[in-house]
Amino acid sequence: MLLVVDIGNTHAKFGVFDVQARKLVASWRAVTDHERTADEWGVLVDRFLALRGLHLRDLHDCVISSVVPPATAAVTEMVQAYLDVEPLVVGPNVDVGIPIQHVNPEEVGADRLVNSVAALHRYGAPCIVIDLGTATTFDVISPDGAYIGGVIAPGLELSAEALFKRAARLFKVEFQFPPSVIGHSTMTAMQSGLLWGYVSLIEGITRRIVEELGQEATVVATGGLADLLASHTSVIQAVDQELTVEGLYLIWQGNR
């Protein structure tokens, strides 16, 4: 079986693929701790595997994408020590299987390329991938199936945290849509600004991307807040939380 790992700024996502059956058999998330050692990662992975009736000895290979260098080093060391293999780490020197046009590949986060590979495979081109995580990113696959760039904005949680910290009389609120756009209390006014504000950001940027592409595109959302925000806008056609692990599997398959 194949272990796939995507290390983001807030969470790391793990998946296990049965290579012969070509299907995902287990997945889980863990907090990205920059100080966690290779042995600690090993214990964490071992325990998650055990909960699903699996063992480290079932894993024969690994592919990693990461935007957190200290965690990349620790997870790589863990794989070397506990799986006795050299993991494939997605980076500028790895063939991801799709053309990269108009951008410097070294500047593109590995997770963005991985998501784009999976989106092209699952939904075709043109396609827009919206990842609603620590940052809100839009990645664009052109009509001819090439990655051509995208948009990076602060994530909803980052924006909310900045608002709470910098405005003395405001306070943390739950991420849920208020009953109306017009807030009738400080709490509902903040919820409206944050949640409807991000829905408007999604709709506005998506519309501008489509205008630049010159044709309609399939819009796919992923990330921790995807289900919440996608349910309040019609521009997102699909929510796919397995996009990143699927993309990692495809890249590993192409580089075997």
Residue type, 227: D
- CA gyration radius, the chain: 19
3-class secondary-structure state, position 1: coil
Q: Which of 151, 154, 153, 199 is nearest to 175 (CA)?
A: 199
| Euclidean distance between CA atoms 139 and 150, whole angstroms | 4
The per-residue DSSP string of 45-111 comes to HHHHHHHTT--GGG--EEEEEES-HHHHHHHHHHHHHHT-S--EE-STTS--SS-B-SS-GGGS-HH
Whether 39 sits among the annotated catalytic residues: the reply is: no
Contact 4, 17 (CB under 8 A): yes
Neighbours of 54 (CB within 10 A): 18
**Active-site residue (options: 111, 131, 227, 240):** 111
CA 189 to chain centre: 29
CA 217 to chain centre: 19
| Euclidean distance between CA atoms 219 and 217, whole angstroms | 6
Prior bond to 126 cis, omega within 30? yes
| Catalytic machinery residues | 111
